[in-house]
Amino acid sequence: MNTALPLNQISATDAAAAIAAGKLTSEALVAACLERISQREDEVRAWAYIDRELALKQARQRDRETPRSRLHGIPVGVKDVIDTCDLPTEYGSPIYRGNRPTCDAACVAQVREAGGVILGKTVSTEFATRHPNKTRNPHHLAHTPGGSSSGSAAAVADRMVPIAFGTQTSSSIIRPAAFCGVIGYKPSFGLINRAGLKFLSESLDTIGVLTRSIPDAALIVEELSGMPSTSFDQVKNLKPRIGLCRTPYWNRADAVSQANLERAASKLAAAGATVTELNLPAEFAALADTQIAVSGYEFSRALTHERTRFPQLISASLTGRIAAGLKVTRTQYEAGMALAERCRGHIEDAFGHYDVLLTPSAPGEAPGLDNTGDPIFGLMWTMLHLPCLTLPCGTGPQGLPLGVQVVARRGGDAALFVNAEWIRHALG
């Protein structure tokens, strides 16, 4: 453990090792995170609900136990579209103000079973869509942290918690991670069990995490999914084959972000990677609109109770998106699903030539507070069910973080971790 760092800043991996060795208590770690929240929450507004005594009670209990897993004693933030039995879950909507689920979501129950500490609920946008909530970007409070995993990204970036759950239907982990300068990891579709998540889109919704290191992301997802532990010892010997994929939406990225990605590709080639261009077949260009149609078809139905019983409590922006989703016909929906399946086959073939792809995370740095940013660079990869990871890389013209996105083949999450860690080192 890096003893020079305040406890709230150390990685989950280092903290877990120190707890297992008896050199750190969960109570001290949780107390340090709570102190940071006390100092900064009025400005950052990352949390939907915190019960300090409950968090400390959990930590004290963990300190009385023999460590159960590598997650033992580690505080975790939970996005407020994921059910918790002892904290309110309001889904970012006034419709559910004060809502108290009777059961934990599966991923929350697993964290508890593994000995983790549920620190609190992080702010989500309305039903994990695009309507902004109260959270600010900790790097500049006049800018958005992105969405929909707004609070999770901001809390991790501001050293309030080492790990927080996010969810992604379009770009809701990848984009806020880029805007806040943290690691955002969307696993292969279905890797983390989704029971107890407020569904929007049954074919796309994916639970993932925001952290400050790649080993921390691997730690929690491996514990929850049963994946073997990733060995990062091999990283220094890698010579990755990287496909530079600008995507069909390259013109949506600003000039600074385009230059940032190309500069990153050059640095990786200089560090020993084989970097070649991947130009996708023409039909991939339709995937972004397909994702919008498919997700709209699904979430307009998933929110039937809310839209029919409480229409006045739904934002104008979401009301418009629901109306558009209801216009998507079953024939259009099935055609979109068929296109996605064809493209999944094409991209699997492409991964015969590449270990990972390098692609944009977002069109630029975080915009102001009136919107959560353009999700364009997450839509396609989410539709393809591929594991994706955003790395901090550079800054924009206003000094806000930029990111690059690393994408692996479906089921290749372990390869994503080690290749992304190599890329992180190579980018400095």
51-71: pLDDT as tens digits: 999 999 999 999 999 999 999
pTM of the complete model: 0.98
Task: Over range 258-284, report the average pLDDT.
Answer: 98
Is the model's pLDDT at 3 over the cut of 70? no
Is the model's pLDDT at 48 over the cut of 90? yes
Is the model's pLDDT at 156 over the cut of 80? yes
Is the model's pLDDT at 300 over the cut of 90? yes
- What DSSP letter does each residue of 39-66 carry, written as one string? HHHHHH--EEEE-HHHHHHHHHHHHTS-
Place of tokens 């024939």: 331
Task: Over range 245-262, report the average pLDDT.
Answer: 98
322-366: pLDDT as tens digits: 999 999 999 999 999 999 999 999 999 999 999 999 999 999 999
| Structural domains of the chain in order of their starting residue, each with its CATH number | 1-281+350-428 (3.90.1300.10)
Task: Over range 94-119, report the average pLDDT.
Answer: 98
- Number of separate helices (H) and strands (E) present in the chain: 14, 11
Average pLDDT, the chain: 97
- The pLDDT assigned to 217 comes to 98
Of 124, 148, 170, 361, which is the active-site residue? Answer: 148
Is the model's pLDDT at 92 over the cut of 90? yes
181-238: pLDDT as tens digits: 999 999 999 999 999 999 999 999 999 999 999 999 999 999 999 999 999 999 999 9
Is the model's pLDDT at 2 over the cut of 80? no
- The pLDDT assigned to 401 comes to 98
77 vs 229: CA distance, rounded Å: 22
387 vs 225: CA distance, rounded Å: 14
Burial class (CB in 10 A: 0-12, 13-18, 19+), 231: exposed
Nearest Cα to Cα of residue 159 among 139, 179, 173, 141: 139
Under 8 Å between Cβ of 339 and 287: yes
213 vs 309: CA distance, rounded Å: 43
Reply yes or no on whether 239 is catalytic.
Answer: no
Name the percent of the chain lying above pLDDT 90: 99
Is the model's pLDDT at 22 over the cut of 90? yes
Tokens of 270: 């200089």
**Beta partners for 82?**
197
- The pLDDT assigned to 169 comes to 98
Residue 1 pLDDT class (50, 70, 90 cuts): low
- The pLDDT assigned to 309 comes to 98
Nearest Cα to Cα of residue 184 among 160, 230, 216, 223: 216
User: What are the helix (H) ranges across 240-329?
Assistant: 255-270, 287-302, 304-309, 316-326
Nearest Cα to Cα of residue 79 among 118, 34, 110, 40: 118
Of 11, 26, 79, 295, which is the active-site residue? Answer: 79
351 vs 70: CA distance, rounded Å: 32
- The pLDDT assigned to 4 comes to 80
Reply yes or no on whether 148 is catalytic.
Answer: yes
Of all helices (H) and strands (E), which one includes residue 411? none
Reply yes or no on whether 79 is catalytic.
Answer: yes
217 vs 183: CA distance, rounded Å: 8
Nearest Cα to Cα of residue 258 among 359, 107, 401, 380: 359
Of 93, 124, 170, 172, which is the active-site residue? Answer: 172
377-399: pLDDT as tens digits: 999 999 999 999 999 999 999 99
